[in-house]
């Protein structure tokens, strides 16, 4: 479908009597015929339609045969009288603009109410007509649409007028999507006549169109508007590239089509032979679409190392339109049976529609000569929605969807999900500059992804969103309580970018009953991972309300993974043990066995005069002694306990089940224990091993913590890694003396292949994530 660009609305009559046709003998004269026609109209009580409206009426009746033409005629007369004497930059009468905008909407299939509002959309802004007068003459629905597209005055808002106008328009669109549809048609006609503007104004208007209105047209699914707007913006901002691309298109059109047309005929015959009723056509690419294909060609050098030249198949695609959904897959079967499909090129947007309700099957097949042709398959209903988006769904009705609406109408066209989210965060951004920046950033992602939670909830996120964005999409409280995430069954970093179809679980900390306790809340570095305005605003609001929170400083370890906060390292200024005969010696508690009071410990000198403290019987300590290191006597000093608490590593052996990680982290955080890192090994024979490094507020909390972990459903053993032989600190369910199950690997056997969280948080929190390197298993 194309929107006609060359309509002339000069008020000239277009009826047959104006064409100068000769009158046969015995027939009435022109004057008598005219009087008879007017008498017939008056006799039926149907007022004549103004001549300037006749092209519009013809188009509108194709979509709405029972349209109220009298209402349209009355709106036109009021608009023409209100704008009388006004001129556009081109010198044409101003009434040509609302007529052209209304023609665009009529070609899209918009309803009569939308066309009436379109005819009047500039009257309140540019004439003496008031909104109350519009409402009194045409009803509150038309008045609401006119008010929604009326610009705010610069005299009242200054430089913020444009941003505040778009905010007003978006809020109005939240209640009636037709407001934005009218605005898009208005901008399309203004872009068609942009050559009459000053060069600086052309660039400014084209950039706003590119950054805001084209993405909005994409989100509303109005492809025909979006494509033409893209081409005009391309010609305005990049005239040389546009001229080059248009030249290629003209050269291709001048040559006979020896690829796509023959293939379309062959496919149509094949489908007819199999009994599938289908209409096969060649769908040429518009200018910007072809330019994108050429850029991909240039970026992918051929076998000779030179950029690839455009191929005949680059200039268009095949469109197959069928009657029923099942026919779409029948066509796909014929395509993939008779021609070679390209792996990775098939996309099913019928079973999983895009966020803007777009549905089609996409595939690409290789022909005998090696040419690759893209094919789109859809029903007639899908084709209408693919072309005109929400306009094809009809006017929003307060009574709800029609009784005969099909499954495609399960999304509310008056309030799409992306618009609801946008309206939520715009309320939290009173500053016009901040709103404009957030709006353009939010619209910059030209596609959305679908993520499914493990509980079955579907989340729509912009492409590039992270686990942080998903957490806050589930609710601000969920985001503030987030302590980790699991994607497709594996623990992952909160900064992980989600992909379409991912299965997500947001892990949250449990709070004591009563509601008095507050969640740990987000950290400042979460702002670097938040891609959606809603998440960023929620995080910024939390940080502003909790200024006492110490800032986190990253040191940038290898691999770009988060490092523990620098201020935590400073808290470990005092060692909790003293070395006999070496006062003031630097002491480091070994990470392999994580000793805590009252463990029996021994010290071993290592590089730089530092003394590494291991639990008695730790295999790593025994290796140091076997290497000739002297065993030093050390003792615990309660008065020099580390400010951050005592760090200890615990291992939980369990039967794998959904929600196990969330339940274990909740059991740990419920005791006021901070989680430093968590590691989950891949399950083996339905068994799984979780390893946590935690910080105890005091050593006496360790037994209670291990008992709490053991009470979690499915956990059959909780122990400390590298426990000394004969002095094993273990809590087991049932057979406490049993050896570990043979199917569970030892802790040093994964060599960094599992996914682990790392970083420090306040009690109960996990922050950041990184693969745990195998070097963590080495001695100090």
Q: Report, as residue numbers or ranges, the catalytic residues.
A: 125-126
DSSP state letters, 169-217: HHHHHHH-THHHHHHHHHHHHHHHTGGGS-HHHHHHHHHHIIIIIHHHH
β-strand partners of 688: 654
* Helix extents (H) in 492-611: 533-545, 566-571
DSSP strand pairing (674-680 vs 730-732) = unpaired
Residues 6+ apart with CB under 8 A from 261: 282
Cα–Cα distance measured from residue 584 to residue 527, given in angstroms and rounded to the nearest whole number: 41
Helices 112-119 and 96-108: crossing angle, nearest 10°? 160
Q: Under DSSP, is residue 449 helix (H, G, I), strand (E, B) or coil? A: strand
Q: Which DSSP symbol is given to 612?
A: E
Cα–Cα distance measured from residue 362 to residue 321, given in angstroms and rounded to the nearest whole number: 13
Sign of CA dihedral 229, 232, 236, 237: positive
DSSP strand pairing (361-366 vs 458-462) = unpaired
Instruction: From residue 234, give the alpha-carbon distance in Å to each of 209, 225, 526.
Output: 11, 14, 36
Q: Which DSSP symbol is given to 301?
A: B
Q: By C-alpha distance, which of 693, 212, 206 is closest to 437?
A: 212
Q: Which residue has the tokens 């409206």?
A: 53
314: its two tokens? 């680059």
* Helix extents (H) in 389-496: 417-426, 432-444, 467-473, 476-481
Q: By C-alpha distance, which of 460, 393, 392 is closest to 422?
A: 460
Backbone angle region of 767, left / alpha / beta, with phi > 0 → left and psi within -120 to 50 → alpha: beta
């Amino acid at each position: 479908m194309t929107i006609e660009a060359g309509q002339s609305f000069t008020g000239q009559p277009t009826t047959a009597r104006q064409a100068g046709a000769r009158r046969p003998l015995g027939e009435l004269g022109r004057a008598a015929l005219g009087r008879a026609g007017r008498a017939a109209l008056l006799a039926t009580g149907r007022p004549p339609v103004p001549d300037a409206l006749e092209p519009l009426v013809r188009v509108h009746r194709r979509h709405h045969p029972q349209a109220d033409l009298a209402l349209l005629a009355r709106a036109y007369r009021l608009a023409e009288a209100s704008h009388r004497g006004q001129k556009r930059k081109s010198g044409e009468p101003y009434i040509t603009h609302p007529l052209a905008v209304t023609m665009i909407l009529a070609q899209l299939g918009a309803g009569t109410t939308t066309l009436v509002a379109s005819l009047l959309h500039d009257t309140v802004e540019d004439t003496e007509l008031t909104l109350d007068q519009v409402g009194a003459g045409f009803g509150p629905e038309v008045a609401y649409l006119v008010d929604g597209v009326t610009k705010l005055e610069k005299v009242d808002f200054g430089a913020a007028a444009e941003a505040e106008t778009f905010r007003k328009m978006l809020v109005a669109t939240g209640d009636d999507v037709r407001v934005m549809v009218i605005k898009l048609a208005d901008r399309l006609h203004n872009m068609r006549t942009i050559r009459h503007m000053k060069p600086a104004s052309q660039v400014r208007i084209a950039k706003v169109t590119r950054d805001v209105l084209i993405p909005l047209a994409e989100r509303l699914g109005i492809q025909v508007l979006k494509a033409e707007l893209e081409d005009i913006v391309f010609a305005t901002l990049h005239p040389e590239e546009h001229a080059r691309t248009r030249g290629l298109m003209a050269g291709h059109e001048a040559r006979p089509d020896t690829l796509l047309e023959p293939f379309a005929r062959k496919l149509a015959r094949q489908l007819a032979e199999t009994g599938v009723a289908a209409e096969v056509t060649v769908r040429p690419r518009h200018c910007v679409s072809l330019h994108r294909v050429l850029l991909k060609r240039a970026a992918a050098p051929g076998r000779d190392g030179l950029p690839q030249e455009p191929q005949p198949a680059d200039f268009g695609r095949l469109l197959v339109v069928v009657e029923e959904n099942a026919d779409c897959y029948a066509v796909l079967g014929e395509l993939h049976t008779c021609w070679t499909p390209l792996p990775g090129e098939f996309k099913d947007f019928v079973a999983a529609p895009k966020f803007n309700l777009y549905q089609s099957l996409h595939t690409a097949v290789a022909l005998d000569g090696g040419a690759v042709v893209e094919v789109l398959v859809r029903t007639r209903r899908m084709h209408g929605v693919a072309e005109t988006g929400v306009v094809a769904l009809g006017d929003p009705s307060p009574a709800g969807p029609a009784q005969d609406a099909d499954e495609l109408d399960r999304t509310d066209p008056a309030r799409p999900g992306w618009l609801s989210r946008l309206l939520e965060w715009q309320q939290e951004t009173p500053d016009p500059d901040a709103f404009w920046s957030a709006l353009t950033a939010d619209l910059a992602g030209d596609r959305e992804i679908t993520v499914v939670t493990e509980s079955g909830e579907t989340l729509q996120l912009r492409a590039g969103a992270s686990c942080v964005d998903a957490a806050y999409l589930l609710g601000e409280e969920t985001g503030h309580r987030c302590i980790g995430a699991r994607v497709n069954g594996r623990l992952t970093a909160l900064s992980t970018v989600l992909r379409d179809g991912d299965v997500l679980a947001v892990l949250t900390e449990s709070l004591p009953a009563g509601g008095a306790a507050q969640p740990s809340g987000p950290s400042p570095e979460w702002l670097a991972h938040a891609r959606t305005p809603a998440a960023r605003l929620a995080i910024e609001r939390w940080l502003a309300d909790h200024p006492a929170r110490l800032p986190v400083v990253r040191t940038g370890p290898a691999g770009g993974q988060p490092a523990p906060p620098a201020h935590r390292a400073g808290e470990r200024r005092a060692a909790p043990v003293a070395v006999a005969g070496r006062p003031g010696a630097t002491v480091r508690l070994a990470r392999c066995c994580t000793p805590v009071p009252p463990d029996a410990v021994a010290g071993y000198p290592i590089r730089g005069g530092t003394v590494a403290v291991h639990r008695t019987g730790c295999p790593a300590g025994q290796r140091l002694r076997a290497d000739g290191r002297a065993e030093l006597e050390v003792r615990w000093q309660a008065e020099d306990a580390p400010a951050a608490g005592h760090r200890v590593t615990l291992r939980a052996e369990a039967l794998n089940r959904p929600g196990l990680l969330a339940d274990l982290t909740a059991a740990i955080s419920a005791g006021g224990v901070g989680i430093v890192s968590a590691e989950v090994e891949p399950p083996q024979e339905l068994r799984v091993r979780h390893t946590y490094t935690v910080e105890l507020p005091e050593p006496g909390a360790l037994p209670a913590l291990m008992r709490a972990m053991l009470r979690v459903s499915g956990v059959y053993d909780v122990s400390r890694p590298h426990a000394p032989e004969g002095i094993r600190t273990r809590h087991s369910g049932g057979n406490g003396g049993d050896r570990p199950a043979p199917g569970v690997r030892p802790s040093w056997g994964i060599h960094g292949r599992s996914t682990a969280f790392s970083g420090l948080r306040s009690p109960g929190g996990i922050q950041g994530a990184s693969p745990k390197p195998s070097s963590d298993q080495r001695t100090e």
